[in-house]
Amino acid sequence: MNYGELMDLNLDLDTWKQCFNSILEIGNLESTKGYKFIVKNNICYLDPPSHTQSITRWYNGYNKEQFYNFLNDNKTKFFDYLSFINKTNVLKTNRPHIKSFTINLVTFLMNLAKCFSLCRSIYPEYTELNYLLLSYYHIIKEWIGNNGVITNI
């Protein structure tokens, strides 16, 4: 793998980090009570609790179905990205700059899997969404395990 291809993988990883940033923010909260998600222009944002949250969400047309659709629409693309990484054999390369990418990727995936699991408390009554979140969690956990990465997810 040449340096340009590695830069492309890093750019794609940064794009996914931006896409799922609000989900990663859930891991930094002491409590998820009252938080919701907003999806605008295919980017997900965290909506903190407030006295006018429900009115604002209704007025702007934000709802849990948008969050579900956001995750569902990005699921195939995200796992295609992980499959592409497998095909490049980047995870089996010992060069320092490639190792740095691998560590960055695995750290991101471990945090993301944990946060997908935590997101289930945001909309506990929405069964389909919770199944989708668990699907992300288990697929990421399996991907890490299949690639010989030892973690404590």
The tens digit of pLDDT for each residue in 34-53 reads: 899 988 888 888 888 999 88
3-state secondary structure of 47: strand
Q: Domain for residue 37, yes or no?
A: yes
Three-class secondary structure of residue 33 per DSSP: coil
44 part of a folded domain: yes
| Residue 9 belongs to some domain of the structure | yes
> For residue 123, which of 15, 32, 23 has the smallest C-alpha distance?
32
Contact 17, 108 (CB under 8 A): yes
What total of structural domains would you count in the chain? 1
Residue 39 lies in a domain: yes
Does a structural domain hold residue 108? yes
**pLDDT one-digit tens code per residue, 57-111:** 888 888 899 999 999 999 999 999 999 998 887 887 778 878 888 889 999 999 9
Containing structural domain, residue 68: 3-146
Residue 133 above 70 pLDDT?
Answer: yes
Q: Rounded to two decimals, what is the model's pTM?
A: 0.84
What pLDDT is attached to residue 153? 38
Identity of the amino acid at 136: Y
Q: Would you say 14 and 38 are in contact if contact means Cβ atoms under 8 Å apart?
A: no
pLDDT at residue 31, rounded to an integer: 86
Nearest to 146, CA basis, from 111, 115, 109 = 109
Share the mean pLDDT of the chain.
88
Give a yes or no: residue 153 inside a domain: no
Is residue 27 included in any domain, yes or no?
yes
Q: Is there a domain that residue 151 lies in? A: no
Is 60 exceeded by the pLDDT of residue 152? no
